[in-house]
Amino acid sequence: MRFIRILNDIRLKSKLSLIFITVAVLPLLVSGIYLTSKLKEVMITNAFEQATNNVERVQKRTEEVINVAIDISYQLSNDNRLKSIASRSYDSYNEVIQTYRQYTDIRDYMRLYKEIKSIRLYTSNPTMLNNWEFMQPDAQTKQSEWYRAALSQKGLAGWDYIQDERDHKQYLSLVRKINLDELKNESVLVINVNSDLLNSILSQETFSTMIVDNSNNIVAANRPNLYGKNLASVHAGSNMLSQTQGSYEAVMDGKNSKVVIANITPQNSWNGLRIISVFTVSDILHDANAIIRLATLVIGGCLIIAVVLVYISASFIARRLLRLSKHMSRVGTLSWDTYLDLDGKVEIGQLSRQFNELVHRISELMYEVEESNQQKQLLLQKQNDIKFKMLASQVNPHFLFNTLESIRMEAHLRGEEGLAQAVWQLSTLIRNSLEVGSRQIPLSDELTMVRCYLELQKFRYEDRLQYIMEIDPASEHIEIPPLIIQPLVENSIIHGLDRKEGPTLITIRTKLNVQGTLFVEIQDDGAGISPTKMNELTKQLMTSDESGNRIGLRNVNDRLELTYGIASRLTINSIEGRGTSIAFCIPKESGT
C-alpha cells in the first residue's frame, strides 16, 4: 500500500516514463545481456571446434612431410654404397671427387622430394672432402646437443631445430646415427625439412598456428613474427610451454587465449613435435563486439528517443489535464462562463466536451432555479392549468374507445356481426397503438396486432385478401421492437394486392433455429416489384431520411439496423408479376 501511495504521488509524465523504462527498457536490457553472453559462448565454442579441426588437418599434413624424411633416412641407413663411400680411405682428392660424382642418390632424393631441403652426413673420415653432402664434424658440431643425442640413441630418429652450414638458416631436421662398418664407425645423418612447405601448410589456417619442437622452438608458423623464435620469448603461458595434447586456457602476449595442442610422435623417434593453435578471445569476439556495440548504440539511441517522446507526450497530456483542473477550480468558484477548448476526439478531448456540456447544463439549471424562485406563484398557477389539461387529455382516448364500443354493441344488436367484429378489431388495434412505447414487446403481441390489421383489411377487400400465419411456437416469447411486422404486411397489401387483379395470399412465417436466431418472413403473391423500382427501393433503404410521419420500410429497416446491427437489415426479393418476399432476422443475444 505504501508503494502504491508513493506511485500515486509521482507526476504523470515521470510515471509514464518510469513505466516505459520498467516494461520496455529493463526487459530489453536483460534480454540483450543474456543473448550477448550466449552469442559469445557460441562463438568461442565454434572457434574451439575450428581450431581443433585445423590442428588435426595440420597434424596430418605435417606427418606426411616428416614421414618422407623418415623414409629417406631408413633408405640411406641401409645404403651400402653410402656406407662404403663414407668409410673408405682415399688416396687423393681426385679420387674423392670422382666418387662423389658417381654417387647421386642424395641429390636424387632432394630433386624428387620437395619435402626435403637438404641432406648431409657427418662422418669422421679425414680423407674425405666437405661437399655439403658429406661433412667432417668440427668441434662445435661434436659438442652440440643434437649431435651427442643422436650418437647416444641406438638408431632412433630425433627432431631438432638445426642451423645449416651452407645458408646459415635453421631448419627442422631429422638426425640419426648410422653405423658405417663392422667396427661400429658412427656417423650422423641430418635431413632438413623444407620450412617453406611447412609454412605454406600453416598459412592456410585462420588462427595463429605453430609447429614446435621438443625444446619449444617454433620451427614453422603462419605468423612471420613467430617463426624461428622460442615460445618463452613470445610471452607464452606455462600451459603452452609444458602441456601436451589437449585444449587449454593460456596467456600469450598478455592476452587471454585459448590453446589447442596436438602431438606428433613419428615412428622410431626419441622425441616429437607439437602443433599449437592459439586464438585470443578478444580477436574472436572482435566482430561480435563491434556488432554488439553498434546494436547497443542504435537500440540505446532508439530507447532514449522513445523515453524522450514518452516524456513529451506525458507532458502534453499533463498540461491538458492541468488546464482541465484549472477550469474545474473556476467552476468551483461559481464561475459559469468558463469554456474549455481541448482538441481531440478521444479521452481528454471528449472529457473537455463533456465538461463544457456539464457546465452549460449546470448553468442552465442554476438559471432555472433562480427563475423559479422569482416566479413561484406564477408556476403554481401554471401547474394547476397543466393538471387540468392532463385530465382533459385522459378523457379523449376513453371517449374514443367508449364510442367505438357503443357502435360495436349497436351493430351486434342489429345483427351486423361482421361490422361488430371489425369495430372490435379497430378498437383493439388503436388501443395497442396508443400503448406502444420504446420498450420491446413479445412476438405474440406483435402478431396479435398484425392479425387485427389483416382482419380489418379483409373486411375491406373480402375474398381478394387471404393470409396464412405459420408461427413457430418456440418463437412467440421472443421480444422484438413494436410495429416491425405490421408495416411490412401493410406494404404487401398496398403494393401487392392493390396493384393486382384477383386474390392475393400473404404468408407470415417465423422460425427459431438451433442457435436461437429468430427468422421472420412476410411473403405475398401480389404484383411484385419491377427491377427499376427495386433499385430505387434499395437506394432508399440505404439512406436515413424518412419523409413524413408514416412508418414505412425504411423506418423498419433503420430500427432493425440500429437495434441489432447490419446483419438484421431487411432482405427483399421480388419478381415482377409473381410476388415479393421481405425477411429479417434477430440474433439470440438481443432477441432473448
What domain range includes position 248?
A: 47-284
Q: What is the rounded distance in angstroms from the CA atom of residue 465 to the CA atom of residue 463?
A: 5
Say what the pLDDT of residue 505 is.
92
pLDDT digits (tens, 9 = 90+) for 177-203: 888 765 466 789 999 999 888 888 888
DSSP 483: S
Nearest to 106 by CA among 70, 133, 125: 133
Cβ pair 189, 178 in contact under 8 A: yes
**Is 365 inside a domain boundary?**
no
Question: pLDDT category, 468, cuts 50, 70, 90?
Answer: very high
Nearest to 327 by CA among 350, 349, 359: 359
pLDDT digits (tens, 9 = 90+) for 201-237: 888 877 788 888 888 888 888 888 787 788 777 766 6
**Is 173 inside a domain boundary?**
yes
Contacts of residue 268, defined as CB under 8 A and 6 or more positions apart, other chains included, come to: 70, 155, 156, 157
Contacts of residue 414, defined as CB under 8 A and 6 or more positions apart, other chains included, come to: none
**Is 262 inside a domain boundary?**
yes
pLDDT at 76 over 50: yes
Q: What is the rounded distance in angstroms from the CA atom of residue 243 to the CA atom of residue 519?
A: 90
Higher pLDDT, 142 or 12: 142
Say what the pLDDT of residue 585 is.
93
pLDDT at 431 over 80: no
- 269-291: b (≥16 Cβ within 10 Å) or e: bbbebbbbbbbbbeebbeeeeee
Whole-prediction pTM: 0.47
**Phi then psi dihedrals of residue 477, to 5 deg:** -85, -10
C-alpha cell of 440?
A: 420491446
Over range 411-420, report the average pLDDT: 63
Over range 246-265, report the average pLDDT: 77
Question: pLDDT category, 523, cuts 50, 70, 90?
Answer: very high
Q: What is the rounded distance in angstroms from the CA atom of residue 166 to the CA atom of residue 55?
A: 32
Say what the pLDDT of residue 59 is.
84
Over range 508-532, report the average pLDDT: 91
**Phi then psi dihedrals of residue 9, to 5 deg:** -80, -10
CATH number of the domain that 491 lies in?
Answer: 3.30.565.10
**Phi then psi dihedrals of residue 569, to 5 deg:** -65, 160
C-alpha cell of 191?
A: 635431413
pLDDT at 388 over 60: no
**Is 553 inside a domain boundary?**
yes
Phi/psi region, residue 467 (left: phi>0; alpha: psi -120 to 50; beta: rest), is beta
Which of 52-61, 337-346, 505-514, 516-525 comes out lowest in average pLDDT? 337-346
Say what the pLDDT of residue 385 is.
41
Over range 405-421, report the average pLDDT: 61
Domains contained in the chain, number: 2
Q: Which of 263, 284, 305 is the last residue of a domain?
A: 284
C-alpha cell of 176?
A: 640419426
Q: Which of 284, 304, 334 is the last residue of a domain?
A: 284
Say what the pLDDT of residue 549 is.
39
Higher pLDDT, 367 or 379: 367
Cβ pair 261, 244 in contact under 8 A: yes
Cβ pair 307, 20 in contact under 8 A: yes
Cβ pair 276, 70 in contact under 8 A: no
Cβ pair 239, 274 in contact under 8 A: no
Q: Which of 226, 255, 284 is the last residue of a domain?
A: 284
Contacts of residue 480, defined as CB under 8 A and 6 or more positions apart, other chains included, come to: 440, 441, 442, 443, 446, 518, 586, 591
**Is 407 inside a domain boundary?**
no
Amino acid at 476: E
pLDDT at 407 over 70: no
**Is 447 inside a domain boundary?**
no
Q: What is the rounded distance in angstroms from the CA atom of residue 226 to the CA atom of residue 220?
A: 8
Over range 353-379, report the average pLDDT: 67
Q: What percent of the chain has pLDDT over 70?
A: 72
Number of H helices, E strands in the chain: 20, 17
Cβ pair 303, 28 in contact under 8 A: yes
Cβ pair 252, 278 in contact under 8 A: yes
Q: What is the DSSP string of 203-247?
A: HT-SSEEEEE-TT-BEEEESSTTTTT-BGGGGTB-HHHHH--SEE
Nearest to 190 by CA among 162, 217, 209: 162
CATH number of the domain that 60 lies in?
Answer: 3.30.450.20
Say what the pLDDT of residue 100 is.
85
Contacts of residue 473, defined as CB under 8 A and 6 or more positions apart, other chains included, come to: none
Q: What is the rounded distance in angstroms from the CA atom of residue 57 to the CA atom of residue 4?
A: 66
Over range 515-538, report the average pLDDT: 89
Q: What is the rounded distance in angstroms from the CA atom of residue 309 to the CA atom of residue 504?
A: 72
**Is 402 inside a domain boundary?**
no
